[in-house]
Amino acid sequence: MAEVQTHTESGEMAQRFIEMVMMQAQNAAYALGQIPHPQTGEAPVNVELARLFIDQLIVLREKTRGNLSSEEQAILNNAISNLQMVFVEVSQGASAAGDGEAVEAEPPPAVKEPAPSAEAAPAPAGEEESRKKFTKSYGA
């Protein structure tokens, strides 16, 4: 009987993660008009779609914090920062062109670490144990 592989090697998983990040970045670049359509050669700009893809990469970075290799983290950070710079350029260029469409000139919001607070909101008894496992200590 053939055995079913129950785990994937970490090198293969790292490669798949990098491919996923690059696909999201490529989708964002296409939405920002950086990649022309293969059939028409046009480079349409959809700022809201680009914002969605960039926000997804930011969420991915936050949800995988501490679980990525340095190479994976660097690729993800570079993709996000490059796309944010292009996003600002494209949205400022679109608003400066005055084509009648209102386009926001702000980059997608970067998710920031919450500031440590002296008082934490009381959690229900079931969630309290869960929160203890995943909280950070800032040395207060």
State which residues of the chain have pLDDT below 70: 1-8, 94-140
**Residue 93 has what pLDDT?**
81
CB 94 within 8 A of CB 103: yes
How many CB atoms within 10 Å of residue 57?
A: 22
**pLDDT for 60:** 96
Q: 54-90: per-residue pLDDT in tens?
A: 999 999 999 999 999 999 999 999 999 999 999 999 9
Query: What pLDDT, on the 0 to 100 scale, is given for residue 38?
Result: 85
Q: Which residues contact 119 (CB under 8 A, 6 or more apart)?
A: none
Note the pLDDT of residue 37: 85
Which architecture characterizes domain 10-112 according to CATH?
A: Up-down Bundle (1.20)
Residue 17 CB partners (closer than 8 Å, separation 6+): 68, 72
Q: What is the per-residue pLDDT for 87?
A: 94
What backbone torsions phi and psi does residue 110 show, to the nearest 5 degrees?
A: -85, 135
Question: Phi first, then psi: what are they for 99, rounded to 5°?
Answer: -85, 15
